[in-house]
Amino acid sequence: MSTTHQPSPLAKLEQKTVHEIIVKGKRIDERGPLDYRPLTITLGSVEKANGSAQVELGKTRILAGVKIQTGTPFEDTPNEGILTVNAEFTPLAYPTFETGPPDEDSIELARVVDRGIRESKAIDLEKLCIEPGKKVFVVFVDIYVLDHDGNLIDAAGMAALGALVSATMQEFEVKGGELRFKESKVAVPMRNYPVPMTSVKIGTSVVVDPCLEEEQVMSCRLTVTTDKNDNVCAMQKGGLGVFTPEEIKQIVSSSIQQSRELREKILSKVK
Amino acid sequence: MGNKEQVRLIDKNGLRVDGRRLDELRPVKLEVGVLDKADGSAYIEHGRNKILAAVFGPREAHPKHIALADRAVVRCRYHMAPFSTDERKSPAPSRRELELSKVIREALEPSIMSEYFPRSSIDIFIEVLQADAGTRCAGVTSASLALADAGIPLRELVAACAAGKIDGQVVLDLSDIEDKKGDADLPVAFMPKSNAVGLLQMDGSMTDSELKQALDMSINACRTIYEMQKDALRRKYHVEREEETEEIAEVKA
C-alpha cells in the first residue's frame, strides 16, 4: 500500500535555512532558480552492455545500461519489439535505500522514464521485430542509482537516453523465419530523444533541478518530458503539495525551452 | 499511447465514437455510503467505469512503526479486479497499480486535515470493478467522497477528470478506445476553491498550447464533477436530517 513517507531526515534548522534562501530568490548551492547543475555524461563505460551511460548531475550519479535480447512480443503488438525499463535504488546510494523488491519511488521513476521513451516513440520498435507474433528483440533499460543528491528522475531519464543513443546491436537478417546475425554492429534504431525536466515548488517559488536538501523541503514536483520537436510526451506530478494551473503552464513552457540545451549536450556526446 | 491503425475517432459532424461532443463528459453517477462496515464509502459509475472506494480510520496505525508523531499517515491502495478488463488481470498488484496508488494518495492527502489525528492511519481502498479508461480519476473522485462519508475533516473535496487528444483535437474524458487509439491523455485532480492541482500526469504527444488547452478543459470538468460530489453528499445526508426533524416534530406534538 502507498503510505505517507516518514518526515525528511534533514534537521529542522537546515530545512528552515533552505526554505528562507529560496524565498529570497537564491538557492543553497548558489544557483539561480532556473539553473541546472553541471552535467557530465560518460558513454560506454560498461563494455558488456549494448549501451551504457553514466550521468553526473551535481553529486547525483546514475548509471544506465541497455541489454538487448530476444523474446516473445505482446499479443496486441505482434510486429513490435519490447521496451522494458527498470530502476534500482542501490543501497550504495543513500543511507535509507534498502535491498529488496523495488518500492513505489523506484517504480514511479522507472515508469516516468519509460513513458518518456515510449510515448515519444524514441525507439523504432517495428525494426526490432524478428518474426511477427513469435519473436522480437527486447530492449532492457536498467537504471542504477549510485549516489543520490536529488533529482533522480532527470538524471535517470538522461542516462537512459544516453545509453540508448549509444547502444549498438549485432546486425541481423531474417531469412525464411530464421534469425541470423552478421559480423557488423548497428545502432539501435532511434528516432526521437526525450528529455525529462523536473521543477519543484518550495513555498511559492519554483526552481528546477532540485538538489537533495531542496527535495526534502519541497511541497511538490513536476516532471515534464519533452521530445526533439518541442512536444510534451510525459508528465508526472509528485509530492504532497499542490500546483496552481498557472504554475503548471509556466513550468511546461520553461521546461520545453530548457530541455533543448540538455538534449544537445547528450547527443553531442555520441557524435 | 497504444498502436495506431488509422481509426477515425471524430466524425464529420465533430462527434466522437460514442456520440459525445469534444468537451462532453461521459455520464457520471455517484453514490455515498454504499458499504456497511467501512467508515466511509462511495461508488462511482463514470461512463462504463464502475469503482468502489472505502475508507477506514482514523484508526490506530498498524504496524506501529509507520505512525507519525504529528499527523495521521494516509495509506492508499488502488486495485483492479481480475474481471475488470478485457483480458483477465492478475490479482497481484502490478507496477502500474503501485504507481497509481501513490499518485492517488498524493492527490487526496493535501485535502485531508491529517494533523488532527497524530499516530493514527487513514486507509483508502479503491477497487476497480470495471475499467473503461479514466479509472485513476474516477478513483480519486469516489475516494474523496468516501473520505467525506467517513467524517474525516477535509479542506475540500477533490474532483478528477482527464482530457486528451484524439485525431489531432483536444477532447475531454477519453473513453477506452480513444485512450488506446488516441494521441495523448492528461489526467488531472483538482480542488476548485483552493485552485489546486494535486494529481497531474500525461502521456502521448501534445504541443505547449494543446497541453494548456487540455489542462483548462479538464479543470473545468473537475468543477462540474465537484458539484456532482456535493450533490451526492447532500442526497445521502439531507434525507437523514429530514427524518431527524420529523422525529423531533413528533416528540413536540
Q: Write down the domain spans for chain B.
A: 28-87+95-252
Distance CA A155, CA B222 (A): 34
Closest-CA residue in chain A for B3? A77
Q: Which residue has the cell 503548471?
A: A248
CA of B229 vs chain A CAs: smallest distance (Å): 20
Residues of chain B with pLDDT under 50: 3-4
Distance CA B189, CA A92 (A): 36
Interface of B with A in 84-123 (CB under 8 A): 95-96, 98-99, 101-106, 109-110, 114, 123
Provide the β-strand partners of residue A139.
Answer: A68, A83
- Topology of domain A13-270 in CATH is Ribosomal Protein S5; domain 2 (3.30.230)
pLDDT at position B207 is 98
Phi–psi pair at A160, nearest 5 degrees: -60, -45
Q: Which residues of B touch A249 (CB under 8 A)?
A: 212, 215
pLDDT at position A12 is 78
**DSSP single-letter state for residue A194:** -
pLDDT at position A26 is 92
Distance CA B88, CA A77 (A): 18
Residues of chain A with pLDDT under 50: none
Q: Do A110 and B101 touch (CB under 8 A)?
A: no
Picking from B74, B197, B206, the nearest residue to A245 by CB comes out as B197
SS3 label, residue A213: helix
C-beta of residue A245 within 8 angstroms of C-beta of residue B215: yes
Give the pLDDT confidence of A15-31 residue by residue, as tens digits.
889 999 998 999 999 99
Distance CA B185, CA B188 (A): 10
- Contacts of residue A47, defined as CB under 8 A and 6 or more positions apart, other chains included, come to none
Q: Which residues of A touch B73 (CB under 8 A)?
A: 3-4
pLDDT at position A177 is 75
A interface mutation test: which of B1, B76, B106 has the most A CBs within 10 A?
B106
Q: Which residues of A touch B208 (CB under 8 A)?
A: 230, 232, 252-253, 256
Q: Could you tell me the three cell numbers for A186?
A: 548497428
Instruction: State which H helix or E strand residue B191 sits in.
Output: strand B184-191
pLDDT at position A56 is 97
Q: Could you tell me the three cell numbers for A204?
A: 511559492
**Could you tell me how many CB contacts below 8 A there are between chain A and chain B?**
124
Q: CATH number of the domain at B28-87+95-252, please?
A: 3.30.230.70
Picking from A3, A236, A242, the nearest residue to B73 by CB comes out as A3
pLDDT at position B218 is 98
Q: What's the pTM?
A: 0.94
First to last CA, chain A: 45
SS3 label, residue B212: helix
Of A147, A154, A45, A142, the residue nearest A90 (C-alpha): A147
CA of B238 vs chain A CAs: smallest distance (Å): 31
